[in-house]
Amino acid sequence: MAIIKPFSAIFYNKDKVNLNNIIMPPYDIIRDIEQYYARDPYNIIRIDKGREEPGDCENCNKYTRAKEIMDKWLSEKILLKEDKQYLYVYVQDYMLPDGSKRQMIGFYARIKLEEFEKRIILPHERTHSGPKIDRLELMRQTKANTSPILTFFYDSKQVVNSVLLKNINKQPFLEASIDRDLYCKLWKVEKEKDIEIIIDFLKDKQLFIADGHHRYETALNFRNEVKQKIGIKGETGYDYIMSVLMDIEHAGITILPTHRIFKNFPDFSIYSDNIKKFFNISKVDEREFKFEMDRIDEKKLGIANKRGFYILKLKDGNYRELIKSEPKIKEYYLLSVCILHFLLFQKILQIPEEEIFKNIDYTQNFDEAIEKVKKNEMKIAFFVQPTTTDEIKIISLNNEVMPQKSTYFLPKLVTGLLINPLDEHTG
């Protein structure tokens, strides 16, 4: 089902640049681009997330500059183009918000673009138009994937990981770090047999998009646009997108919950009859609150406000009775974010969705949410449980998409290690 291929990557010349200074986090989580502009004149920010400048117009803007810069760096051998096609093993050490460290393993490849209705590559969340417009303009100019998406598959016997591990017992092809929180390494998979094992294993598997829905949909649109404009009928490099792929059960990935915090929120009684109908409510101290929300023993929500900390444990029977006539599968409504938004906000408190999203803010940092409430920076915080990999699989396979901010995957893949030139490849 899923078609993956090696590719001839563009990468930085480590003899001419300090790799630690040129990589950056994904474009969509960067808030201060100036720090990356200041870090190094060759930082990938200048290609992947350029800044607007006075006098910009249709023919001279951050997207056309990205193309000019990439061409210039290629001509100056700041960027090099690989002669052969490889898969690349990718290992990334990363830090969780609580300070603990973990390691993720996956691999870079090209994956063939497929419409979602074919059920070969599956999304799990909704997308918005803004980021897709930005990525499309960048792709039109550079004719490249300047950053990878993240996709996952299921491999109970670890067929793929066994091949990847065989290929890391040598000096990395590239390695780089951002401060102390992130360290990544790349190795080429050079043996044809190893590449064949991975390709063959995945050919009858489905892939699930973890991060990069906007870029995937943009790549589909760009492929269609190019083929219509040029009249291409056969398979080309535009039919593929660069991805890091991972075995989600064994890769070392982390899915964090995204908590909701509000500066303004309607007053309500936590012990109201409507809430008690669906939840068992306990007021606890801060230490017990953290302990309870860390336990994934049953469905629950957490609330922190100026009066204290509350654990709301779902009365499963009452809730299942409520959702039995709802249009989506029951697993959708049992997602922690749905219990919060659908049950508590919509059904019990009857707050219009537009009011919720007008005032909402998000954080994956548990302690930060508590501190903002304690310091009166925020009126109230609602805490959810992390989405599981099984929930993602069930939702995706049933052609559903999750509510906004249902998943937050760590690590966030770095940008700047590899670029996939779309017009350099045939299918």
Tens of pLDDT along 154-203?
A: 999 999 999 999 999 999 999 999 877 789 999 999 999 999 999 999 99
If asked whether residues 185 and 268 sit together in one domain, one would say no
What is the residue-wise DSSP string for 321-340? HHHTTSSS-HHHHTSHHHII
Lowest mean pLDDT among 16-25, 93-102, 326-335, 343-352: 93-102
CA pair distance 183, 94, nearest whole angstrom: 7
Query: pLDDT at residue 425 above 70?
Result: no
pLDDT of residue 146 exceeding 70, the answer is yes
Task: Give yes or no: residues 71 and 96 share one domain.
Answer: yes
Which pLDDT does position 424 carry in this prediction?
A: 67
Phi/psi of residue 272, nearest 5 degrees: -65, 155
Q: What is the pLDDT of residue 343?
A: 97
Average pLDDT over residues 253-279: 96
- The answer to whether residue 80 scores a pLDDT higher than 70 is yes
User: 232 lies in a domain?
Assistant: yes
How many folded domains does the chain comprise? 2
Say what the pLDDT of residue 179 is.
Answer: 78
Determine the pLDDT at residue 123: 87
Domain holding 335, by residue range, is 258-385
Domain co-membership, 313 together with 342: yes
Q: What is the mean pLDDT of residues 380-384?
A: 98
Q: Are residues 184 and 245 in the same domain?
A: yes
Q: Which of the residue ranges 186-190, 268-272, 388-392 would you say has the lowest mean pLDDT?
A: 388-392
Residue 187 lies in a domain: yes
Distance CA 194, CA 186 (A): 16
| Longest Cα separation, the chain | 70
Which of 73, 75, 97, 67 shows the shortest CA–CA distance to 17?
A: 73
Q: Tell me, what's the pLDDT at 91?
A: 98
405 lies in some domain: no
pLDDT at 22 over 80: yes
Interval 47-69: pLDDT, tens: 999 999 998 898 899 999 999 99
H/E element holding 75?
helix 62-75
Split at pLDDT 50, 70, 90, the class of 405 is: confident
Query: Is 282 a residue whose pLDDT tops 70?
Result: yes
Residue 402, domain member (yes or no): no
213 and 348 assigned to the same domain: no
For residue 43, which of 410, 417, 413 has the smallest C-alpha distance? 417
How would residue 127 be classed by pLDDT, with cut points 50, 70 and 90?
Answer: low
Alpha helices in 260-301 (DSSP H): 273-278, 286-294
Residue, of 322 and 99, whose pLDDT is higher: 322
Predicted local confidence at residue 420, as pLDDT: 97
Are residues 376 and 333 part of one domain? yes
pLDDT the model gives residue 288: 96
Name the pLDDT band for 235 (thresholds 50, 70, 90).
confident
CA angle 156, 162, 168 (to 5 degrees): 140
Do 43 and 76 sit in the same domain of this protein? yes
209: domain CATH number? 3.90.1530.10
Segment 341-360 shows an average pLDDT of: 93
How does pLDDT run across 288-313, given as a tens digit for each residue? Answer: 999 999 988 899 999 999 999 999 99
Clarify whether residues 229 and 265 are in a common domain: no
Whether omega for the bond prior to residue 411 falls within 30 degrees of 0, making it cis, is yes
pLDDT, position 31: 85
